[in-house]
A and B are shown apart, each in its own frame.
Chain A
Amino acid sequence: MNANATTNSGIGGSVRRREDSRFLQGRGKYTDDINIAGQTYAVFVRSPHAHARINGIDTAAAAAAEGVAAVFTAEHTKDIGGVPTGWQVHSKDGEPMAEPKHPVLAEGAARHVGDPVAMVIAATRRQARDAAELVTVDYDPQPAAVDMKAALADGAAKVHGDLPGNLCYDWELGDKAAVDEAFAGAAHVTKLDLVNNRLIPNAVEPRCAIGDYDSVSGEHTLYTTSQNPHVIRLLMGAFVLSIPEHKLRVVAPDVGGGFGSKIFHYAEEALVTWAAAQIKKPVKWTAERSESFMSDAHGRDHVTHAELALDANGKFLALRCSTLANMGAYLSTFAPCIPTYLHGTLLAGQYATPAIYCEVKAVFTNTVPVDAYRGAGRPEATFILERIVDQAAAETGVDPAELRRRNMIQPEQFPYQTPVALQYDTGNYEATLDQALKAADYAGFEARRKQSAAAGKLRGVGLSCYIEACGIAPSNVVGSLGARAGLYEAATVRVNPTGSVVVFTGSHAHGQGHETTFAQVVSDMLGIDYDAVEIVHGDTAKVPFGMGTYGSRSIAVGGAAIAKAVDKIIAKGKKIAAHLLEAGEGDIVFENGAFKVAGTDREKSFGDIALTAYVPHQYPLESLEPGLEETAFYDPANFTYPAGTYVCEVEVDPDTGQVTVASFHASDDFGNLINPMIVEGQVHGGLAQGIGQALLENCVYDAEGQLLSGSYMDYCMPRADDLPSFQVDTTVTACTHNPLGVKGCGEAGAIGAPPALINAVVNALNGGGHSIAHLDMPATPQKVWAAMQSN
């Protein structure tokens, strides 16, 4: 990095975010803020049944209603391709997963509450809504598959009649024989059954999509609440609507939070794009919150049996896990890879467990599709591991921090090859553990427990040492594992003639502050003013083909692509400078924003070089093109591996079972930090979602497949007074394989927090004389109280 790396607006500075100026004054441009002249409004008729045959749909009254432009059903859309899946997983026997068609509008059967059955388009939103009420669907309700175990049983109701059953795949990872052998020789075996509760992402901005069609040019434009506009263009253009890419533009403007739920290609996006061309008018659809609950992809929903084998000294010998993972009714874009390559591969955690075996059965049910939600597979793996380690500590009478420490991978073991495919590049887990224990005053817990006890409360402490794998890569490896896309990122750095810079990035910000962070990187590397760097993202007509933002990949992959492009700018600048300074290219160095002849005082400023590139009067035209603009595609060599230790203390009210978070301390190793203020904010947000999962949030279906938690009245979102202020700090081991040494920070909190909470609650109850091995999330007062009564 440059010498000015420590200046306030460069790498490492907590620069105030530039995007805030518009957001704080109501000048953001979210999709629903966009209105196109002549725009019509779409409303979807959705199935109220979990599973029903559709015998007929009467749309006559709706079509005749005031203002209605069109009513579409599967009859009109059956030739449109199904919504595709971006990942193919193979079962143990080598067979590819079951991959049923996911029609854009239900064809002959509705398979979950919320499955879209008809699309009504009218001149105003109200007219569309009123007309939708007039659509009559002749449903023949069928038995629904809801519970995963029951769905796999013989004779269970089938979600897809054309499949042999509800099994999507039966996958495995690891050396089963080695694990069995280790278990046979173990001094102690801990067993645990866990449920990772289903969550509903609930970005505060509901999904929205506007289709627009230019009948003269034949160009389609989709404005959509997406985390990855190019992925949507590729999936929708190539697989659903057969629109060539040069005639399809996808714009994802300001997006009000995603957390995974806005990665996926949704039927509504395809339908507004298609319908706009059918009726030759722009078509806008904005989800109401109740629609979000029943149509945004859900997260988590695993049921697991896990076993950990230990030797007499508390060293982990082997781990085995068997998981059922809910896919919902259809395969959402990345659904198949979440419980497999983002879950099974994380089961080593921070520990040198020599043998691990994991098997996952993915199950279709008559519920909303399940896909990546903040953390995506990694929270599920971390919950298994950090709960069973705690339970093993309790059973063997070893302090939970000590048991973890005994098993941690040591700094000298990196690069460390886990038994579940990943190779960790770097880390120092014990140092982070120590820092967290010290900051949280772990040693002083007993005194606080007594204080709480004196006040009639049960206090508990819980640890969680998580690892995550971010920036999923490299493309050739994920391709061999079933990914149907590359996982690189792209950036173009355009230097203007006067030396200001515009960066076009394939990453997409929906709260992460890329416009600030990326500008810091570029201004630091080029030694130019932070305000001279502009970041452009979110429009396929402007930015190079990029994969977007998910899996905490923006800085590690997108930032690295920008850094690579800047490197190319500097390399070209050196050639221009060599010509101007009449020196050999090898003698030019770039320092503090200037190109210098090494060891002399002869130099050209960055601005001089930029101007020369565009006004090439004195320029090596025979060997170099004019202009100063470079594009880089960066395909990482490996994942990055952020890791950390979280320490949580809770107080439980023994009379009510109410859990209060007394303190929460997070120590994370994210590698180098670009903007520490933004990084802390990301941790806070992740922690709130993790604590939400552990204590409050739960998606509940009844036995018939009705969604009981379908509104903010029924689904408990974390509010400000459910949460404490957080203590957050970091340690640094720089990532070894990307140019910025960064690892990513977006999901850590949501991954590490849930087991810390549950460990703390279990610790509190057991410290209060109860005997409880496990509590499933969320640890509501009712659940905690019931556990105290029975044990």
Chain B
Amino acid sequence: MSEQITVTVNGDTVSARPAANTLLSAFLREELGLTGAHVGCDTSQCGACVVLVDGKSVKSCTMLARQADGASLTTIEGLAGDGGELHPMQEAFRDNHGLQCGFCTPGMVLSAVDLVSRNPDPSEGEVRRWLEGNICRCTGYHNIVKSIRAAAKVMRA
């Protein structure tokens, strides 16, 4: 019998028994049906799988589901408010055309939320360096950088 873990996922308490080698990304996608975290690589480099673990951005493919025991997770599905109003970061991505195919987007948005919580007024260079671990093939990053700085401004106000 696998070990039981209890995690809070987007505000709901979830108990489960993931296999010892189940990655957090697979646990979210395949066991909880939260397919917003995407898997774009097998070397932990694309960042499409980023979720917030206790408020910090983590590549969910680099963590075992069991390591999340006791943690509070926010996935892209849980970022908008209860009434469905978008988080300022989501709003800014829409407003600045910060996404095209949308595949990197969940990771980009959550990674950016973490950045702005650490650095409320990041410069363009700081945003670009922070995004080292998130690959986007569509946007050329131009509008992602713009989106993040615009969201930071809203979030500061």
Contacts and interface: CB of A to CB of B under 8 A. Distances in A.
Contacts of A27: 36, 77
Contacts of A719: 131-132, 135, 141
- For A28, A255, A689, which residue has the most chain B Cβ atoms within 10 angstroms? A28
A720 to B, nearest CB: 4
Given A28-B102, A256-B101, A257-B138, A720 B43 contact: no
A655 interface: no
Interface stretch (B1-9, B62-70, B88-96): B88-96
Contacts, number: 178
Contacts of B145: 720, 725
Given A16-B95, A26-B106, A721-B125, A255 B101 contact: yes
A33 interface: yes
B60 interface: no
Interface residues of A, number: 56
Contacts of A726: 140, 142
B152 interface: no
Contacts of A24: 76, 86, 90, 93-94, 99, 102, 105, 109
Contacts of B142: 684, 688, 723, 725-726
B37 interface: yes
A712 B77 contact: no
A712 B40 CA distance: 10
A511 B103 CA distance: 9
A288 interface: yes
B58 interface: no
B43 A256 contact: no
A254 interface: yes
B82 interface: no
B136 interface: yes
Interface in A14-34: 16-17, 19-28, 30, 32-33
Contact of B42 (A25, A289, A677, A720): A289
B77 A685 contact: no
Interface stretch (A202-210, A442-450, A610-618): A202-210
Contact of A511 (B21, B42, B100, B134): B100
A685 B90 contact: no
A723 B77 CA distance: 30
B45 to A, nearest CB: 4
B43 A711 contact: yes
B126 to A, nearest CB: 10
B41 A685 contact: no
Interface string A22-57: 111111101011000000000000000000000000
B52 interface: no
- For B99, B144, B145, which residue has the most chain A Cβ atoms within 10 angstroms? B99
A721 B46 contact: no
A297 B93 CA distance: 31
A678 B94 CA distance: 12
A717 B135 contact: yes
A711 B41 CA distance: 9
A28 B124 CA distance: 29
B73 interface: no
A26 B36 contact: yes
Contact of B37 (A26, A254, A289, A681): A26
Contacts of B143: 681, 684
B129 A721 contact: yes
Contacts of B95: 16
Given A513-B100, A681-B139, A685-B140, A721 B131 contact: yes
Contacts of B76: 24-26
A25 B124 contact: no
A665 interface: no
Interface in B99-157: 99-106, 109, 124-125, 127-129, 131-132, 134-146
A388 interface: no
B75 interface: yes
16 contacts: A16-B95, A23-B105, A27-B36, A30-B38, A32-B39, A126-B21, A204-B48, A257-B100, A511-B138, A513-B100, A681-B97, A681-B100, A688-B142, A711-B41, A721-B128, A721-B131
Interface of A: 16-17, 19-28, 30, 32-33, 126, 202-206, 254-257, 259, 286, 288-290, 510-513, 677-678, 680-681, 684-689, 711-713, 717-721, 723, 725-726, 749
Closest 3 CB pairs of A and B: A26-B36, A23-B102, A256-B103
Given A20-B99, A28-B36, A254-B101, 11 more contacts: A20-B94, A23-B101, A25-B36, A30-B38, A202-B137, A204-B135, A256-B38, A289-B40, A681-B100, A720-B144, A725-B145
